[in-house]
Amino acid sequence: MKTSRQVVQWVMLAGLLLACGGVARAQATVQNPATSLAAGEALTLEQAVRMALEKNPALKAQAEESNVARAQTAQARAAWFPWVNFSQSFLRGNDPVYVFGTRLRQRQFTAANFALPGLNAPAPLNNSLTRVDGQMMLFDALRTHYRVAGARRMETAADFSTEQARQDLILRVVRAYYGVIVARENFSAAREALRTAEANEQRVTDLEKAGLVVASDKLSAQVFVAQMKEREIRAANQVALARMALGHELGLGPSAMKEPQDALTEPGGSEATGTATMDEWEKVALAERPALRAAELQQQATASGTKVAKAEFAPKVGVFANFERDAESLGGGPSGTNWTAGARVEVNVFAGGADRARLDEARARERQAANQVEYFRSGVRLEVRQAFLEVSAAEQRAAAARDAVEQAKESLRIIQNRYEAGLATMTDLLRAQTAQLEARTGYFAALHDWQVARAQLERAAGRLRADSQLVRGGVR
């Protein structure tokens, strides 16, 4: 019976050593984040935000929407100005009507051209036609006015949408920036836990040699070391992934990536929300949230579209004129000039109901936009309240996590002493070591969530900008 247990223990030990060796080899290939931090250039949160606002491709793409809207405004405004077209053409033919009219326009018609054979079967004639046409709308029942008004509102809405994209980007940068810092802290915690586990393994080995503990305690300690090595590898990988995520937002490649230098610090009372109440933050958001203002302007633009559709039932008045020169050749020869000018009135008498249908469509879009804005406004209120409560909850979580770290540290110290005195089991010791590591990682996560919650509240209120105190002052 005893021999069987010894065999099982030796088999377990051999498998454990193989597993530890594999983890150790994998660990050797993982770069220490602290080493790359020393080699990299320091990066503050403010620098990261400004770099992202300058280089992020997604933000540049959104900014082009403002240029598109400005171009559409210019297109709508063009209807107020006259249109002038120039054309140059060359014709040759022997069509009797063409030849007769062309000779008149070229001012080279003579009495001999009335001969019937020449009228019925004329010789081919060249004509170089230079023509300038112009037209201008004098009255269009304010169609152009409403189109321009709608386009200008869409232009301003595009600017607000770009500003919203900027604030969204800043929030992502804040999350990614502190994500790198938390990943580094988690790596440091994992490495420290590994060293503690290795030291504990050595103590258990010494106790086992002295006959004070059983071999299974040593095996358990070795298994725990392997688990901590695996956790360190995962933590190092998370650092690399967090850096890549930050570089993605900054528009930087891996080789150009810099290292965040700000430290994770604890909440400072009302630092995030100030003295403002939840209702006050909500009022700020309803007045300043860029996306909401963009939606309101888009609603106003649909109202302008309804007015344009109504104006289609009114008459339009315009003038036109043209000037042309006819010659046998472009360079010279017999030639003549002529011009015409006039006015035109267009009245929409019947269009098969299409104009009425367009008006119904415009009114439906206006109602749709109004409902969307109201729903959006309600969503902004909800988002502000959620962000406000999240800041408060994150502060409390950070305080609780800090206490948990201290308690876990003291608990581990006590259990280590009890274990060495034979008053606690190996299971108790390993559980205490795991609890300490979990408490530290939970504390770092709480600090990260608090810092991100602050940014979310400012973004929800429409105040998260590059010059915000949160960005310029980091977490201080």
Indicate whether 353 belongs to any domain.
no
Determine the Cα–Cα distance for residues 328 and 335; give it in Å rounded to an integer.
7
242 with 297, same domain?
yes
Residue 303: closest CA among 365, 256, 249: 365
**Residue 55 phi, psi (nearest 5):** -115, -15
What is the pLDDT, as a whole number, of residue 423? 86
Determine the Cα–Cα distance for residues 373 and 292; give it in Å rounded to an integer.
7
What is the pLDDT, as a whole number, of residue 3? 44
300 with 259, same domain?
yes
What is the pLDDT, as a whole number, of residue 39? 46
254 with 325, same domain?
no
pTM, two decimal places: 0.81
Q: Cβ(364)–Cβ(305) under 8 Å? A: no
265 with 394, same domain?
yes
Identify the burial level of 390 via C-beta atoms within 10 angstroms of its C-beta, where 0-12 means exposed, 13-18 middle and 19 or more buried. Answer: buried
The two structure tokens encoding residue 46: 């403010």
219 with 283, same domain?
yes
What is the pLDDT, as a whole number, of residue 276? 84
159 with 260, same domain?
yes
Determine the Cα–Cα distance for residues 433 and 234; give it in Å rounded to an integer.
18
Indicate whether 244 belongs to any domain.
yes
The two structure tokens encoding residue 141: 């029942």
Instruction: Choose one of 295, 327, 347: the last residue of a domain.
Output: 347
CATH number reported for the structural domain that contains residue 113 in this entry: 2.20.200
Domain that holds residue 307: 9-80+148-313+359-472
End-to-end CA distance of the chain: 65
Cα R_g (the chain), whole angstroms: 40
What is the pLDDT, as a whole number, of residue 115? 78
51 with 104, same domain?
no
Residue 185: closest CA among 268, 257, 265, 272: 265
What total of structural domains would you count in the chain?
Answer: 2
171 with 227, same domain?
yes
Q: Cβ(215)–Cβ(208) under 8 Å? A: yes
Determine the Cα–Cα distance for residues 435 and 395; give it in Å rounded to an integer.
22
What is the pLDDT, as a whole number, of residue 266? 80
What is the pLDDT, as a whole number, of residue 153? 97
Please report the DSSP string for 108-167 in residue order: ---GGGG-HHHHHSPPPEEEEEEEEEEEEEEE-TTHHHHHHHHHHHHHHHHHHHHHHHHH
Q: Using the 8-state DSSP alphabet, how is residue 315 labeled?
A: -
106 with 28, same domain?
no
β-partners of residue 92 are 126
- State how far the alpha carbon of 406 is from the alpha carbons of 62, 263, 304, 395, 412, in Å: 47, 19, 64, 17, 10
Give me the residue label for tokens 């003579």. Answer: 110
Kindly give the residue spans of alpha helices, DSSP state H, lying in 210-259: 215-250
Instruction: Choose one of 347, 368, 398: the last residue of a domain.
Output: 347
pLDDT by 10s per residue, the chain, length 476:
444 444 334 444 444 444 445 444 444 445 566 455 444 578 999 999 999 999 999 999 999 999 999 999 999 999 999 999 999 999 999 999 888 888 888 888 877 777 777 778 898 999 999 999 999 999 999 999 999 999 999 999 999 999 999 999 999 999 999 999 999 999 999 998 899 889 888 888 888 888 888 888 888 888 989 998 999 999 999 999 999 999 999 988 877 788 898 877 788 655 555 678 999 999 999 999 999 999 999 999 999 999 999 999 999 999 999 999 999 888 777 788 999 999 999 999 998 999 999 999 999 999 999 999 999 999 999 999 999 999 999 999 989 988 998 999 899 889 888 887 888 888 888 888 889 888 988 999 999 999 999 999 999 999 999 999 889 875 43
132 with 278, same domain?
no
- Amino acid identity for residue 450 in this structure: W
What is the pLDDT, as a whole number, of residue 268? 67
435 with 321, same domain?
no
Q: Cβ(176)–Cβ(249) under 8 Å? A: yes
Indicate whether 302 belongs to any domain.
yes
